[in-house]
Amino acid sequence: MSAKFQTTKTPAEATALVKRRALAEGFHKVGVAPATALAGEGARLAEWLRRGHHGEMSWMERDPAQRADPRLVFPAARSVVVCLLNYHTPHAHTGDSASGKVSRYAWGDDYHDVVGGKLKNLLAWVREEWPGADGKVCCDIQPLMDKAWAERAGLGWQGKHTNLITRDLGSWVFIGSLLLDLELDYSDAARRVEDHCGSCTLCIEACPTQAITEPYVVDSRRCISYATIELRAPELPPAVAENLDGWLYGCDVCQDVCPWNRFEQPTDEARFEPRGGETSISLAEISELTPDAYAARFRRSAVKRAKLAGLQRNARALVEGGRPE
């Protein structure tokens, strides 16, 4: 512990308290790692960027060093507390050809609000428990390699589709981290989960656009999720538009086929239930949305990330031939 903290708790005792509180806030798994640079992961990110796999996500090129070293995000950081929140709900897409499928992560309320809110509550508790302590909430928006940190904290491994996989919840989990200037017990990092993908290649074989170009490498430029959410071009790339398989926003194919998701469990977070019971959205409704109606329709929903023009472009591509036969 830093000298400014007046406490008699050992790092192990402090860690147990932080974990207990994180679980009380509603998180489903918690791990801790020292806030040091991710050398290997940083090198792999640099190579991925060099190969142009990030597509038009130019923001990923900014300050790559920050993504590998949490101390460049929060200079006082000594510990990274990584929290996972299960978002799986036992529903299915409608299968209606007049509707477009929405990725499971966007069925309910925006995860930035849900996960971020829980992390803010956890940080507020830390500040009360250790007067003078401080930290920084990181929930996707901050330049932190969330999946790499979850792996480092012993919570799971990055599968061949590059999503984090856990042995008890599968891959349907959101990741949030709390950078703290407390020294904690880092035995979680010493018990890192080994890769259990083995010889399985189901995710690679099932990808509609062959975006998983090799195990553990996704080329965003080929990815349906990237194209339907992040890409701002007026039209979808032909290779994507012709293989949408009914997806309006995002894509879950690589997770749907993953054998580890046989361990999926319904979340107890009610805010992840499908808004209005919708797992798919009418293409006609999307095509007719006005800016005001769009803002009201997707307020506090992750779907707003695609922007109105993007959603209508996606709907148009589905109507023009992106539906499966």
Catalytic annotation, residues: 140
* SS3 category, 86: strand
Tell me the helix, strand and coil percentages in the chain, rounded to 5: 45, 15, 45
Residue 211 has which token pair?
Answer: 């975006």
Contact 167, 260 (CB under 8 A): yes
Asked if residue 106 lies in contact with residue 303, where contact means CB atoms within 8 angstroms, the answer is yes
φ, ψ at 39 (rounded to 5°): -65, -55
**What is d(CA 2, CA 181) in angstroms, rounded to the nearest whole number?**
8
Half-sphere exposure (Cβ direction) of 220: Cα atoms closer than 13 Å: 17
Number of helices and strands (H, E) in the chain? 13, 11
Q: How far is it, in rounded angstroms, from Cα 210 to Cα 218?
A: 9
CA–CA gap between residue 30 and residue 22 (Å, rounded) = 7
Compute the distance between CA of residue 120 and CA of residue 18 in angstroms, rounded to an integer. 13
